[in-house]
Structure 1
Amino acid sequence: MLNHLSKAQIDTITLWYLVQHSLSSFYKLEKYFAGVEHAVNTQNFALWHTLGLHKSHLQRLAEFQSEIGQQKFQQLLHSIQKNSDFILLADDADYPAQLLPYTDKPPILFGQGHAKALLQPQIAIVGSRKPSAHGRQVAYDFAYYLSEKGFYIISGLAQGIDEAAHQGALKHTGTIAVMGTGLEQTYPAQHQQLRQQIVAQSGAIITEFLPDTPPLAHHFPRRNRIVSALSLGIVVAEAALKSGSLITAKLAADQGKVIFAIPGHIYSEHHHGCHQLIREGAILVDHPEQIIEDLALPTQWQNQCYLEHSQKLQTVSHPVELPPHLTALYNQLDWVGQTLDALASKQTVDVAHLTSQLMELELLGVCMQQAGLYLRCRSPQ
């Protein structure tokens, strides 16, 4: 539960509420008014009518300015505070760096659990909501193995493959669930206990949707783009030809992610979708170690570094604590790697100072340099 909402958070929530989760309208208004705070300034509301916005947004704006509308909005803010453990805005230091390159990144994320889980190296596992017993077991086994190697498993909290993947990951590091509804509800409802386990075991539940957002069909592709964008690669464990997982795989391919597909019996309709993905260029895998091997080299460096540090941590009783002056830079790092110039373009310090800070992070064991790229190799505990 949040005790306080900052002005920046309230402004972003206001605009997100008025445009009814429309990414195009949100970023259009932010750009036009040179900032969210100016877009929701009451003195600028008259200009909204000149920007060609959808009539539903203008209707919501008119309602928002009424007494009843304000009461409704205050109830929304109360629900957000009650159900959220953290809120991340796109310009926050803790906002996942993996999402930043995408023009359709969510401007706000509502979460329960541990926000730092989003900064961990993640592999997505998705698949059918009605898998075979074999497919469910394979998803569980792959998640179990990959989480044992230090990767967080990310999926969509759905029935079937998603559920099995979350359960397998809970045996080791943790898991992240991205929802297609508001945080105050669990969909499907029978996964309430699973959701509680995820939060209790260093994981996170996140959504871009405001409270009282129902589980509508078009919300799940939006959810899936976040699942994919946060991950280093996406594994389709089992899918029929008409499975929604194929849509997720297409989104992942558009984002430049590595797609893995687990094959099955050629006569099994449960696997026809995976076989189609393989024909279209997905990487066939029959063991989770192949996923680690086939991901980009920086991911292999990350995994090796993680294992080395895990061995050291067995003899160290205290966690690594990041000094406050290094937090923003560490949060900017990702698990793939960035050049010094790319890091410098987002920092206010000079290159010499930035190099010094990177060296401090390397000495703390949370950053490494490979082939001119700086990347995370573990997280503060």
Structure 2
Amino acid sequence: MILDRLRGRFCQLLQFSRPRGQGGSLRASPSRPSSPLRVARKLVFPCTEVTSVDRDFLIYASTLTPAGRRSFFARVKEGVDTKDRERVRETARRVADICRVKGISLITRVDEGYPSSLFDLADPPPVIYFTGHLSVLDRFSGAVIGSRNPSGPGIEFTERIVSDLVRSGCPIVSGFARGIDQAAHRAALDAGGETVAVMGSGVDVIYPSGSESLARRITEKGCLLSEFPPGTPPLRHHFPQRNRIIAALSRFVCVMEAAEKSGTLITVRYALDLGREVFAVPGHPLYPRSKGCNLLIKEGAIPLTSADDVLETFGFTSLRGRGEERVRTSEGIAEGKEMLSLLENPLSPDEICARAGISVSEALAQLHLLEMEGLVRRMNDGRFVRALE
């Protein structure tokens, strides 16, 4: 199967063990709605109400390595003695104090407002640390990623794609690395849009150096976020770990340039596992920076030649300029109005399908369009509701 072959190829290139999963294609299939708060408590806490103790445990867990977290959560399920509780409480208090001093916000996975798409991950971050506006992630967003050593045309095309996407109301998610990532962030801001940078360090440790001005711009208009506590240095193994968050926060991933063994493909692997759409910019077969993209397309990724390739996949028929109306078919407008009338109260995708008498794929396509318009929002429990005027 296409997906199996692609995953197998990536695992071979990136020296990962082959992931388990069902075969298919690179075209995303909708994931089942989850109950995030219930999942979070099941993973960590047996209690039914969120308390300050719960948050302390999650903040403490955010200071550990992934292996350390698994071990810690296993001990929590078995019971924690007084000495451990005191250590947890002291660590959480220290981290919270540092955040207050540095103007950093934090939200744990048992808090309202935690990005619901992160619960698509098998290991959602215990805490998200951020500066700026986390509410940007309430909207339909997409990732734009690629080489740290891109070509001139690669930068130019990234700027064009990003500019068109943000003018259509789509925030851009990327990893703040040099090259394509930072070009995507800058293009989003220059076009008057919003962007989210997912860091491989603490949000107060700006890496790469010399990027402080861009970080400030992102904080003003979008969001700088990390699962790592303040003061965490940009260690090498943090970046693959960060890539899963980029994939989870995005409804689609655009690969602009990537070599055959590019680290960008790690993000693509996570995107595939999460059922996200994958787009790739085709390039000359002899051009090293295009080999990764061409491989993706060969195995089923959607060729990316303009922003319309993305927008039409999710139900749009054309772009709009800033301040103009999007162009839609009369049928699409009628469907959108009918969907909105159902969402005065929160509903799951399954409930929407039952009430509207449509398929899951049709429902999700309309929900994506309405979410991109800012007319509906996705709640933490996976349900959708009409956005407040």
- TM (normalized to structure 2)? 0.67
Moved more, 206-215 or 233-242: 206-215
Matched to 2:243, the amino acid is: N
Q: How does 1:12-31 map to 2 (within 5 A)?
A: 12-17=58-63, 22-30=68-76
> Percent sequence identity over matched residues?
33
Matched, 1:367 2:373: no
Paired position in structure 1 for 2:55: 9
2:188 paired residue number: 169
Q: How does 1:156-235 map to 2 (within 5 A)?
A: 156-170=175-189, 171-201=191-221, 203-235=222-254
**Structure 2: distance between partners of 1:331 and 1:25:** 40
Query: 1:145–1:105: structure 2 CA closer, same or farther, 3 Å change rule?
Result: same
Deviations 1:163-192, CA, capped at 9 Å, x for gaps: 110011112220000001112210101111
Residues 19 and 155 of structure 1, relative CA distance in 2, 3 Å threshold: closer
* Per-residue deviation, 1:238: 0.5
Distance 1:122 1:258 in 2: 12
> 1:17 aligns to what SS in structure 2?
coil
SS at match of 1:339: helix
Structure 2: stretches of 5+ with no match in the other structure: 1-50, 327-342, 354-369
1:89-100 to structure 2, matched below 5 A, reads 89-100=108-119
State the Cα RMSD in Å: 3.9
Q: Secondary structure, in 3 states, of the residue corresponding to 2:256?
A: strand
1:1-381 alignment, distance < 5 Å: 8-17=54-63, 22-30=68-76, 32=77, 42-43=81-82, 45=84, 64=87, 75-170=94-189, 171-201=191-221, 203-295=222-314, 297=315, 300=316, 338-340=349-351, 366-367=375-376, 375=384
User: Does the CA contact (< 8 Å) of 1:23 and 1:106 recur in 2?
Assistant: no
SS of equivalent to 1:212: coil
Q: TM-score, normalised by structure 1?
A: 0.69
* Change in CA separation of 1:169 and 1:27 when aligned onto 2, cut-off 3 Å: farther
The answer to whether the Cα contact below 8 Å between 2:63 and 2:228 also exists between their aligned partners in 1 is no
Opposite residue 366 of structure 1, the aligned amino acid is L
Residues 144 and 255 of structure 2 are in contact (CA less than 8 Å); yes or no, is this contact kept in structure 1? yes
Structure 2 equivalent of residue 323 of structure 1: none
2:214 and 2:127 map into 1 onto residues whose CA distance is: 24
SS state at 2:144 partner: strand
**Are the aligned partners of 2:346 and 2:384 in contact in 1 as well (CA < 8 Å)?**
no
> 2-side partners of 1:208 and 1:18: how far apart?
11
How far, CA to CA, are the matches of 2:97 and 2:324 in structure 1?
Answer: 41
Match of 2:362 in 1: none
- 1:251: Cα distance to partner? 1.4
Deviation at 1:107, TM superposition (A): 1.5
| Paired residue total | 302
How far off its partner does 1:80 sit? Answer: 2.2
Structure 1 residues 25 and 289 mapped into 2: Cα distance closer, same or farther (>3 Å)? farther
Alignment partners' CA distance in 1, 2:70 and 2:311:
36
Structure 1 counterpart of 2:351, which letter?
L
Distance 2:81 2:321 in 1: 54
Structure 1 residue 137: deviation in Å? 1.1
Query: d(CA) in 2 for partners of 1:101 and 1:173?
Result: 26
**CA positional deviation for 1:21:** 7.4
| CA displacement, residues 78-103 of structure 1 (integer Å, 9 cap, x when unaligned) | 32222344212112221111112322
Mapped to 1, the partners of 2:67 and 2:226 lie a distance apart of 12
User: How many angstroms apart in 1 are the aligned matches of 2:351 and 2:125?
Assistant: 26
Aligned partners of 1:141, 1:182: CA distance in 2, in Å? 30
Kindly provide the amino acid, as one letter, of the partner of residue 239 in structure 1: A
**For residues 71 and 166 of structure 2, what CA distance do their matches in structure 1 show?**
38
Is contact 1:120-1:151 (8 Å) kept? yes
Q: 1:6 to 1:191 in 2, by over 3 A?
A: farther
The alpha carbon displacement at 1:208 in A equals: 0.4
- Distance in 1 of aligned mates of 2:344 and 2:119: 15
Partners of 2:84 and 2:324 lie apart in 1 by 54
Please state whether the residue corresponding to 1:176 is helix, strand or coil: strand
Q: 1:43-66: CA deviations, max 9, x gaps? A: 2749xxxxxxxxxxxxxx9xx49x
* SS, match of residue 120 in structure 2: coil
Q: Residues 330 and 266 of structure 1: is their aligned pair in 2 closer, same or farther, counting only changes over 3 Å?
A: farther
Unaligned runs of 5+ in 1: 34-38, 47-60, 313-328, 343-360
Letter of the structure 2 residue corresponding to residue 108 of structure 1: V
Provide the C-alpha distance between the structure 1 equivalents of 2:164 and 2:308, rounded to a whole number of angstroms.
8
Amino acid at match of 2:217: Q
Q: Distance in 2 between matches of 1:308 and 1:158?
A: 28
Secondary structure in structure 2 of the residue aligned to 1:249: helix
In 2: Cα distance, 1:106 partner to 1:115 partner:
15
Q: 1:13 to 1:176 in 2, by over 3 A?
A: same
Give the secondary structure class of the aligned counterpart of 1:270: helix
